[in-house]
Structures are given as C-alpha cells and as structure tokens.
Structure 1
Amino acid sequence: MRHLELAFTGPTTFLKAPHRPLSEPWTADVGFLGLPYDFAVGYRPGARFAPGALREASGRYAPGPEGYFDLETETYRLRGVRIVDAGDVDPVQLEYAETFRRITAAARALRKRVRLPVFVGGDHSITYPILRAYDDLAELYVVQLDAHLDFSDLRNGTKYSNSSPFRRAVEEVPGLKHITTIGLRGLRTNPEAYRAAKARGHTPITASRVRENLPWVLDQLPQGKKVYLSFDADVLDPSIMPGTSSPEVEGLSYAEAMAVVRRAIQQNELVGFDFVELAPNLDSSGLSALVGARLLAEMLCEWASGANGFGPQPEP
C-alpha cells in the first residue's frame, strides 16, 4: 500500500502508526498510550482532549518507510523502529482511584510489550499512577520538565490533584530515588512543597538558570541511570505553547527543552516518557498541538539514535 503523505489522510493515530489495543497480543519498539483525564486540574480544564489533538497533529510528522532524513548528519532517523498506538485508557471521570488503577494496569501491560512506553495525558496527576507501574525497578530517576514543582502534599482539599503527582509517587514507589525538575518559575510556588523536595535531595532548577547557564544545567542530569522523563507542556514559553492550563511567562524555548531531553536520553536508559498538560481547546491556532507532536517525534528520534540499538541509518 502506498504511504499516505498528507497529514489529514490515513489513520488518526500517533504518527499514523497502527492501532493495536492492549486487549490483543502484540509487541513493538514504541507504544503510545492516551490518558484523557483532567479532573485533577485546579484551574482551566481541557487536557482530556490532548491525546486526540496530538494524534491529529502528529499526522504532519508521520515518518515515511525510510524514517526522517536528518539535515545535519545526512542520515535517516527512526527507520525500522516499530511504533504502535495502543489507544486510550477509559477514565472513570469523578472516581479518581478507579481511573488511577486503570492507568497503572495499562502502564504495566504496555511496559511488557514495548521497549519504550510513551504516555500522553491528560493532566499531570496521571504521572503518579504511571510511576506505580515501575515499582519493580530497584532504582528509578525522574527528569521532570515543568514550570511547577508538582510536589504539594495537599491542594484544593485533595492529595491527588495535578499539583501532587510526584509527592504521591515517592511515597509509594520504593525505587524512586531522585527527581530533577527543570524550568521552574512563577509567583505561586508552594514553600512547603519546595522544602520537602529539597529535604529529600531532589534537584529543583529554575528557568532563569537554564537561560543563564544551560551547560551547567545539563551537567546536573543523572548519568548511567534508568530514567523516566515527564514533560509538562507549561515548561515551554506560552509564545509557542499557549494551550495549557497554567501558562507561565519566561518559559523555556523549544531548543532549550530539547537540549535537556537529548542529554537525559543520551546518557541514561530511558524507561518511559510522558507528555502532559496540553489543553488544545485553549489554543484555536493549533500551534500547541503541532509543537507537542513535533516534540514527541523528535524525542523518539533521540531515543532511537542513542544507546538503544538503532542509531542513524544511511540512505538506502
């Protein structure tokens, strides 16, 4: 069958990959799983629509049979990498415990089938039940790109909002050793959460430090570890990512964020990746979804070109 090149033709799946639900037997190199849940948001909702919007936008970046041609190296990237769209976890809306149980179960199932699971939210609360699915690892390090720490013990009367996923995760995942958070900024920092994260030995890094000394920031990343990357859309500057619940001015550029992602992947074993807090309904231009789709595609290129057994491919 001829490759469908137009963004709006063919299947509306992540990067036009085949859809294979977790109820069927299959294996792949990469598996995408949508998590359309945003009932933990304390401000503007809409992240529930992100998996669908990103699937549609990612058609623009669907790789051909030969992968992506890289201008810098004149080689192909992502060629031969098997990608599957595993569909969505069906949330139970107001029953957060059951929703989280389903997310954890689906994350465990996806981990058994692929080399790299990619989770697309949804608000940031979904990272907590995802990380519960990694409780078999003796050591796990998290690199979090985010404008906010998301380490509050309590927010809006609940312990399970999108302000608390990493606080809950460190309580339940014994192997979660360290969290490096990059891109912090804004006027609403919770001092209790900041002190609690520092007391546990985590590394919080502000967006201003990234702008002032990116090489120093990159040197703070883990090395030689099993790393889970959690990418909150609001780490990016609102000029390129306006579609998010809680945008903060003076965010990271796309190049700065990708430099962090690239280094984290190059010097560690990436065991999972999530992209959260995109609210496409808040950006009528569609720019935010296109930026998010580009980010997912480029992350896969970095992963496949790194120490994961693929590497760049010469022209056939």
Structure 2
Amino acid sequence: MTTPWQGRIDQPQQGDTLRWHQVVQPLAAPATPGIALLGLVSDEGVRRNGGRPGAAQGPDVIRAAASNLPVWHRGPLYDAGDVVCAGGDLETAQSEYAARIAALLDGRHFPLGLGGGHEIAYPSYLGLIDHLGRRARRVGIVNFDAHFDLRAQALPSSGTPFLQILDHALRHGHDVLYMCLGVSTAANTRHLFSTAESRGVRYLQDEQLAPWALESARQFLAQWLGEVDVVYMSLCLDVLPQSVAPGVSAPNARGVGIETLEALVDVVLSTGKVVVADIAELSPPHDRDAATARVAARLLHRIAGAAHFATTTCVTR
C-alpha cells in the first residue's frame, strides 16, 4: 500500500537534517505523549451544504504536502490514521472521530485534525468535552473562517458545526465561548450575523483584519483568550484569499492575508491553552499546483512547532 509519507532525505540521516516523513510513526498504545495527526475523510458535510465535493481527499494530500517539512517540533510525531465517512453516514463518522479525539487527549497527546470538510469541528469539540468530563473548564473555540458555520439545517453539514456546538453546550451546561475571525459579509446572510449576535459570538470581519489593523486584532484576541481555560482552534482554509488557497469548497474573493493569519494563530498558540486543533476544507481536485495543500502544510508545521502536550492543561482520567 502506498504511503503519503515520502520525501527528500538529507545526509547525515539524523538530528537537524530530519524531515517529517523520517520521524512520523503509526500510533500504537501505549505511546509517549506527542503530536497525533488524525484525519476525517469526509465529503458528506460539504455535499449536504451544497459545496464543491473533494474534501475527502484532503487528509492524505496534507500528509503528502507535510512529508518534506523539516522537524522543528519537540517530542514524537504520530499518524493516528483516519476516520472514514462511509455511505454518507456522517453522524457515525463524527461519533467515531469524537471518541478518537477523546482517547488521544486521555493519552496526553496533542490531536491535530486533518480535513475533510468543516464537519470535523463538531466531533473535535465533542471529543474535548468528553475528555474534560466533569472538570469545570471554560472552553474557548477560535475559528479562522470566512463563514460563521452557524446554519440551522435539517441535517448536520459543514455549515452547521458551531451552532451544533453552542446548542450542545447549552443543553449540557458547558461553559463555551466562540470566536470567529475572518468573517465575510459576502459569505454570510444577515440572519447568520443575527444568529452570531444572539448567541454571544465574538468576531472580526475580514475587512477588520487588514495588515494595518493587526495590532488592534491582536489585542482583541488576546483579551478574549484571557477569559478561557482551554482552547480548540480550527482553521478553515477558505479564510484565505482564492489566490493563496484556490483548493477549497468555497473560494474566497477577498480573505485574510496569510501574514495576518499566521500572526493571529501565533497569538492563540502563545497562550499554551490550545489542546486540540484542526485544518479543514482542503479540496485537492480544485487545488492548482497543490498551492492550498502547501499552505495547509505550512500552517500544520506552525501549529506543531508550538504544540503543548503532556501538560496540566489536559485532564487525565
């Protein structure tokens, strides 16, 4: 079976010459805490949301794009495999993915999710909540996205996960705050903005994230992060301009520059509160010259380099 983990080998094959494909290991229990990549192979959420299919190919394409990344992270790097959405049964796939995220957190790993559509967000949250159990934690969710993903639909989709999260938190008494950065007025109806306001969602629009407004955005985000205990961070690649990230379900005519995105991602990571993260919406069939896959790999590399695992932030049962 062909593996996506292939790439350049520099001499000597040790120390500071190593690349991800040379150090990544299949995850097998028990394992020393480390970064654990977990894919959700799914197009079903995008299909239900009326988007362009292709995201199911995302996880392995991200792995291939990440293979040649130089090793800058600390600790082990694991490939925890994929959860596959079979026969359109998204709900079962999400349930399995949530269980896998909870198990990784229980093992004191840092789960890094690979999408797939943004339907990855709801089970990422469920896995975190299952891991936290009855311990009182204020959970902050930071979503870099052109869309709120607060749609109310008959069936869950890639457009519904954060409304599902807020509804779940309300039903079960969990303390959850949601922030969305990069929201586009051209991609969200007035109803979605009203929903965000009524549900206490904090957000900044793409126009508010121009380079000259970066310091203000940093302060806004840092203040909000100070109010939460643990963070789940999600990066939807359609927050970036189409010129940078063409390979997504819904290309973005404006977007947030990658320089601004990386600076704000760094603000989130610098808190040490991020315990689970994912990258969503890579659609390889629409990706010119694998440009979006390379961006996804770069962001993955950045997150991994700042990952905290085996810390007291996580709660081991």
Does TM-score exceed 0.5, indicating one fold? yes
User: Which of 63, 68, 71 does residue 60 from structure 1 map onto?
Assistant: 68
Shift of 1:263: 0.5
**1:19 alignment partner in structure 2:** 25
Contact 2:239 2:256 in 1 (8 A): yes
Q: Does 1:109 align with 2:103?
A: yes
Q: How does 1:272-291 map to 2 (within 5 A)?
A: 272-291=276-295
**2:225 alignment partner in structure 1:** 223
One-letter amino acid matched to 1:47: A
Root-mean-square deviation over aligned CA pairs: 2.4
One-letter amino acid matched to 2:107: R
The 4+ residue runs of structure 1 with deviation greater than 4 A are none
Q: Which range moved further: 196-205 or 253-262?
A: 196-205
**2:315 alignment partner in structure 1:** none
Contact 2:27 2:36 in 1 (8 A): no
Q: Does 1:232 align with 2:242?
A: no
Q: How does 1:1-316 map to 2 (within 5 A)?
A: 6=8, 15-16=20-21, 17-21=23-27, 24-41=29-46, 42-63=50-71, 67=72, 78=73, 80-135=74-129, 136=133, 138-154=137-153, 158-173=154-169, 174-211=173-210, 212-221=212-221, 222-224=224-226, 225=228, 226-303=230-307
Shift of 1:301: 1.8
Contact 2:124 2:276 in 1 (8 A): no
SS of 1:245's equivalent?
Answer: coil
SS of 1:229's equivalent?
Answer: strand
Separation in 1, partners of 2:37, 2:108: 10
Shift of 1:7: 7.1
Deviations 1:127-174 (A, max 9, x none): 1112111223631001110011101112xxx34011110000111134
Separation in 2, partners of 1:25, 1:151: 38
Q: TM-score, normalising length from structure 1?
A: 0.82
Closer, same or farther: CA 124–176 of 1 in aligned 2, 3 Å: farther
Contact 1:151 1:194 in 2 (8 A): no
Contact 1:127 1:165 in 2 (8 A): yes
Contact 2:185 2:205 in 1 (8 A): no
**1:72 alignment partner in structure 2:** none
Deviations 1:189-230 (A, max 9, x none): 132222122122211211110105111111222334311101
Indicate the structure with greater helix content.
2
Shift of 1:278: 0.6
Shift of 1:176: 4.5
One-letter amino acid matched to 2:34: D
Separation in 2, partners of 1:7, 1:170: 46
Contact 1:152 1:192 in 2 (8 A): no
The unaligned stretches of length 5 or more in structure 2 are 1-5, 14-18, 313-317
Separation in 2, partners of 1:204, 1:7: 43
Separation in 1, partners of 2:264, 2:106: 27
Separation in 1, partners of 2:109, 2:103: 12
Separation in 2, partners of 1:114, 1:89: 20
Shift of 1:267: 2.6
The unaligned stretches of length 5 or more in structure 1 are 68-77, 310-316
One-letter amino acid matched to 2:38: L
Shift of 1:92: 2.4
One-letter amino acid matched to 1:238: Q
One-letter amino acid matched to 1:169: I
Identity of aligned residues (%): 25
SS of 1:40's equivalent?
Answer: helix
One-letter amino acid matched to 2:145: D
One-letter amino acid matched to 1:18: V
Contact 1:152 1:190 in 2 (8 A): no
Q: TM-score, normalising length from structure 2?
A: 0.82
